């Protein structure tokens, strides 16, 4: 699962450099860590006049919950710790029935997607005195928000147990594309009658990151109503902080000049230059989880800072993911 796979995170700087100060536009994508306003990436955003959208539906402040990965558009004050949200957007990574639960590996399968659960994952809607993953079972309907790697494995920041509903939702990267179907990990999506959004004249392509809504016709097939291609959409000169998993490195001679990483907005390009500073180690490599702070131009983030995060191998995973520091270092 690769929609909503990355979280913009705290860069380690209390004061923002460049854009984001004193009213300049600022974009932050990450899990809500506290309420009372909302705290995202160690910044408290006032939400009083913000336009809030949850899964495409206009909503209110009371609907925002800790663990939801949100995109905040607004401004950040000169202190780098407070700001004002103008727009808050939330989309689930997945909404549908659980196929299976593996307590030994702390994972579950949801519509062909592998979801990891750790001690930081918030699981809401369970009966009183029911704890953690033990309270979930096959066929339970859940909504999931979290961070994912380039291989489609999702580390859940919030799981909400819901009543059964007809509509399902899943995000991820397209593979095995035909004229009528494609796969997102193990899930087959039939898009033969779907509305395609943000795909351009070329239509959907293998490797595109998409969000799909529709109805399950079987445990392994989703009949799509809407397929939306995800792509970055920042305002020029905004400041942004992003955290995610590196998919591709770019080189200038023998030196790394930038990289691409998966984000909730699609595949994000990061450019490096001589002024970029590094923390947590200066080596960036494919599969590494990094935090980036920089300025946006033409949807490319020019990095001022890259923080290479220490990763651990999650049990049962063939890829390295973070099981700690979901909410900042």
Question: Which domains, from first to last, does the chain contain?
Answer: 94-162 (2.40.50.320), 167-229 (2.40.50)
Asked if 69 contacts 33 with a C-beta cutoff of 8 angstroms, the reply is no
Q: Could you give the C-alpha distances from 10 to 114, 150, 290, 292, in angstroms and in order?
A: 27, 21, 11, 9
Say how far apart CA 158 and CA 146 lie, in whole Å.
6
Closest by Cα among 41, 8, 34, 68 to 289: 8
For the ranges 30-34, 117-121, 123-127, 164-168, the lowest mean pLDDT is seen at 164-168
Residue 283 has pLDDT above 80, yes or no: no
- State which H helix or E strand residue 232 sits in: none
Contact of 236 with 270, CB cutoff 8 Å: no
Q: Supply angle C-alpha 147, 125, 115, rounded to 5.
A: 30
Q: Are 169 and 57 in contact (CB under 8 A)?
A: no
Return mean pLDDT, the chain.
84
Q: pTM score > 0.85 for this model?
A: no
User: pLDDT band at residue 281, thresholds of 50, 70 and 90?
Assistant: low
Do the bridges between strand 209-218 and strand 195-197 make them parallel or antiparallel, or are there none, so unpaired? unpaired
Q: Is the pLDDT of residue 50 over 60?
A: yes
Residue 328: is its pLDDT beyond 50? no
Residue 310 pLDDT grade (very low, low, confident, very high; cuts 50, 70, 90): low
């Amino acid at each position: 699962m690769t929609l909503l796979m990355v979280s913009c995170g705290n860069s380690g700087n209390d004061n923002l450099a460049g854009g984001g100060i004193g009213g300049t536009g600022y974009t932050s994508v990450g899990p809500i860590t506290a309420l009372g306003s909302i705290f995202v990436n160690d910044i408290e955003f006032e939400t009083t006049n913000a336009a809030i959208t949850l899964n495409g539906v206009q909503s209110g402040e009371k609907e925002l919950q800790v663990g939801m990965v949100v995109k905040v558009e607004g401004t950040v004050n000169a202190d780098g710790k407070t700001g004002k949200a103008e727009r808050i957007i939330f989309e689930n990574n997945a909404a549908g029935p659980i196929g299976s639960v593996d307590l030994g590996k702390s994972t579950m399968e949801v519509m062909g997607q592998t979801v990891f659960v750790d001690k930081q994952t918030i699981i809401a809607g369970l009966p009183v005195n029911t704890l953690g993953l033990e309270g979930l079972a096959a066929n339970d309907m859940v909504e999931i928000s979290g961070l994912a790697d380039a291989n489609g494995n999702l580390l859940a920041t919030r799981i909400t147990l819901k009543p059964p509903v007809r509509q399902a939702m899943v995000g991820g990267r397209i593979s095995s594309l035909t004229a009528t179907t494609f796969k997102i990990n193990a899930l087959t999506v039939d898009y033969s009658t779907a509305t395609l959004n943000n795909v351009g004249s070329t239509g959907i392509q293998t490797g595109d990151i998409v969000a799909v809504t529709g109805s399950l016709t079987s445990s392994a097939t989703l009949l799509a109503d809407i397929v939306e291609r995800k792509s970055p959409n920042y305002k020029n000169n905004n400041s942004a902080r992003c955290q995610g998993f590196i998919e591709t490195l770019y080189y200038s001679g023998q030196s790394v000049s930038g990289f691409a990483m998966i984000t909730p907005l699609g595949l994000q390009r990061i450019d490096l230059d001589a002024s970029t500073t590094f923390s947590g180690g200066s080596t960036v490599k494919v599969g590494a989880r990094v935090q980036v702070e920089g300025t946006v131009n033409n949807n490319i983030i020019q990095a001022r800072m890259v923080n290479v995060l220490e990763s651990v191998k999650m049990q049962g995973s063939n890829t390295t993911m973070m099981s700690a520091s979901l909410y900042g270092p």
